[in-house]
Amino acid sequence: MMTVNERLAWRYATKKYDTTKTVPAETLERIVEAVRLAPTSSGLQPFELFVVSNSEVRAKIRAAAWDQSQVTDCSHLLVFAAWDDITAERVNMMFDLTNDVRGFRNEGWESYRQKLLGIVAERGTEANHQAAAQQAYIGLGIALVAAAFEKVDATPMEGFDPAAVDEILGLNSRQLRSVVIMALGYRAAEGDWLVSLKKVRRSREDFVTEVI
């Protein structure tokens, strides 16, 4: 069995997908579940995941994404949409859910709830959205690792018009804003200029500093 690092060495930002291949439902579900299980600050999960397979919708998103072919040629398109604000209602929703799932109320947890409510109120709407967007990128990272583990190709993409994608998916009515998208599928046998090139990363010596 290949290790996670070997899978990560195998993966690359796929430029050309095989349009005849579809990611099996059970494989897709494992990747999606990995995103759902991603860690987030204070356990808020301040983003949602849209799995787009509809060809007409993806054609519209492609037009808003610099006409990048991966959007329509991949098997599924994942859209990570962050909360437009971390409101008191949303904070309370997640803290109440935690209490319900665990079956008890913890005094320290409730004290932290009040502290967090004060922080997000003082920080303001746009700063709260940016904080939520940063958490969505944790989900993206988990999705990339999960896809590599499943030997599914993936392409993270920031090159799109978020406002246009928000309108296409009706995100504004759900108080969400698109942050990043990711194509999922299988690389084409031919036509991808990047597939045969060596992976380029800085050496460990240049990248890692050990503080002992």
Tell me 75's DSSP state.
S
Mean local confidence (pLDDT), 92-97: 97
Domain presence at residue 41: yes
Sign of CA dihedral 3, 10, 140, 200: positive
The mean per-residue pLDDT over the stretch 61-74 comes to 98
Q: Give the model's confidence band at 196: pLDDT under 50 very low, under 70 low, under 90 confident, else very high.
A: confident
pLDDT of 5-41, one tens digit each? 999 999 999 999 999 999 999 999 999 999 999 999 9
Burial of 61 (0-12, 13-18, 19+ CB in 10 A): buried
Quick check: is 8 in a domain? yes
Cα separation, 173 vs 166, in Å, equals 9
Q: Which residue has the higher pLDDT, 2 or 204?
A: 204
User: Is residue 104 domain-resident?
Assistant: no
Compute the mean pLDDT over every residue in the chain, rounded to the nearest whole number.
Answer: 96
146 in any annotated domain: yes
pTM: 0.95
Residue at 100 is within a domain = no
- Structural domain that includes position 51: 4-85+124-207
> Which of 193, 170, 180, 189 lies closest to 71, judged by CA?
180
Domain annotation covers residue 203: yes
Number of domains in the chain: 1
The residue behind tokens 């759902």 is 36
Looking at residue 123, what is its pLDDT?
A: 96
Give domain status of residue 202, yes or no: yes
Name residues whose C-beta falls within 8 Å of residue 172's C-beta, 6 or more positions apart in sequence. Answer: 84, 166
Average pLDDT over residues 191-198: 88
CATH number at residue 196: 3.40.109.10
Does residue 109 form part of some domain?
no
